[in-house]
Amino acid sequence: MENRAFLSSRNIGLDFLRALLILEGVLYHAARSLPGGNSWYYISGKNEADGFTALIEFMHTFRMEAFFFLSGMFSAMVILRKGSDFFYSNRRKRVLVPLISAFLFIPGLMYLINAEIDGEALTTQGALGAYTSLHHLWFLVSLSAMSFLVPVSFYQRTAAIIRRLPFPLLLAGLVVAANAFFVVKFFVKDFGEWVNLIPVTARFMVFYAAGYALYLNSDQIPQQARNLLVSTKVVAALGVACWLVFYAIFHFNITSSLKYLPVLCASVFSVIFSYWVVFTFEKLRMKENRLVKGVVDSALVIYLMHYPLVITFAWLLDGYLPDSLPVTYVAVVTTLGLICSAALYLIIKQLPLLSMLFGLKPAGAQRVSAVTPRS
């Protein structure tokens, strides 16, 4: 079922896209310090910015979906070209080891920061309890589970089933499956983060399996890409509509069951967007340069490092920026978070041990694959 014409050579555009999807998390976590009814480590005194908050929340509804879709697609490519042994070895180095390395210090560091923000005394029990929380590392746990706990044969059988479905029916089926696990997540939300992660992982595995199937069934892509449902006009119109629904919820402070309407609308968009963005970026043939390569190589480390930084900056800078400039506040926090995280990446990159612990390739090593999964 493999089509050699699809991703037959390096496509830096899709690599770059995946890096941007990861890095958008820096903006999202910086924006969560704005008031708006959410629970977060630090909520600033800035004015509410309904339109901006709606945009950030909308982007968050499709960012990780598209990320896992791309991860599944690249996983299929690596397994078919390099074999499962190479794939598992690569995942251990690029996903599992960075997850363990980050987990060794992120929960403890977040405990210190949170205690300082809340003015609470430090305790041994609190420090140990901090390691029951994954914070922003959950996606690496989910990706590891999809890679190591679910056999390749499952994704292959899923791809065979998907191959027989008309494209509109396939899109509808993915929407229903993803929303089904969203409902399960709602019912187990009070059972703790680790239990909650099970339906979350299952939901994102829907996208991972769909991306995996897309590569295996890539001979169908020319026909699928011409479907009206994944046309740029439809995607743009649906995106605007989703943002407007989010805006209405925030602007009118709707707290009834209607507050879930934006998520349901965005679930349709996230499925369509995942296909559209692959069809679009695969054709761009972006040229590699130092900036693009730097973003691709550093994205995971920057994401791992940014979390405590943006929360700390949001707390420290709140009193220095006017309350009337919430978007500027988020932009400054995001920029500082990116700069400091990038600086940490450059330091880690120069040290062989740290490079290994954070999934970076040794200096001077050749790239094993044009699109080897890093996420």
Which tens digit of pLDDT belongs to each residue from 325-350? 999 999 999 999 999 999 999 999 99
Q: At which residue do the structure tokens 């709707």 appear?
A: 254
Nearest Cα residue to 289 out of 11, 31, 12: 12
pLDDT grade, residue 8 (50/70/90)? low
Q: What is the pTM of this model?
A: 0.92
| DSSP H helical ranges for 34-166 | 50-82, 84-91, 97-118, 124-129, 138-144, 152-163
Let me know if residue 6 belongs to a domain: no
Model confidence at 288, pLDDT cuts 50, 70, 90, reads: confident
Q: For residue 258, what pLDDT is reported?
A: 87
Burial (0-12, 13-18, 19+ Cβ within 10 Å), 104: exposed
Ordered DSSP codes for 109-135: HHHHHHHHHHTPPP-HHHHHHGGG--G
Query: Does residue 64 belong to any structural domain of this protein?
Result: yes
Q: Is the pLDDT of residue 287 over 90?
A: no
Tokens of 278: 């692959």
Output the 3-class SS for 255-295. Answer: CCHHHHHHHHHHHHHHHHHHHHHHHHHHHHCCCCCHHHHHH
How far is the first Cα of the chain from the last one, in angstroms, to the nearest whole number?
Answer: 25
| Type of residue numbered 218 | S
The answer to the question of residue 251 being in a domain is yes
Instruction: Flag whether 373 is in a domain.
Output: no
Assigned token pair, 249: 């919820």
Q: What is the pLDDT of residue 273?
A: 97
375 domain-assigned: no
pLDDT digits (tens, 9 = 90+) for 36-47: 757 899 999 999
Expressed as residue numbers, the domain containing 91 is 12-357
Residue 10 in this model has a pLDDT that exceeds 50: yes
Over residues 121-150, the pLDDT tens digits come to 999 999 999 999 999 999 999 999 999 999
Confirm whether 2 is domain-assigned.
no
**How far is 289 from 153, CA to CA, in rounded Å?**
38
State yes or no: pLDDT of 372 exceeds 60. no
363 has a pLDDT exceeding 90: no
Q: Mean pLDDT over residues 41-59, rounded?
A: 94
Q: How many domains does the chain have?
A: 1
114, 122 in Cβ contact below 8 A?
no
Helices and strands in the chain, H and E counts? 15, 0
Is the residue at 366 inside a domain? no
Is residue 7, in this structure, part of any structural domain at all? no
pLDDT at 1 over 60: no
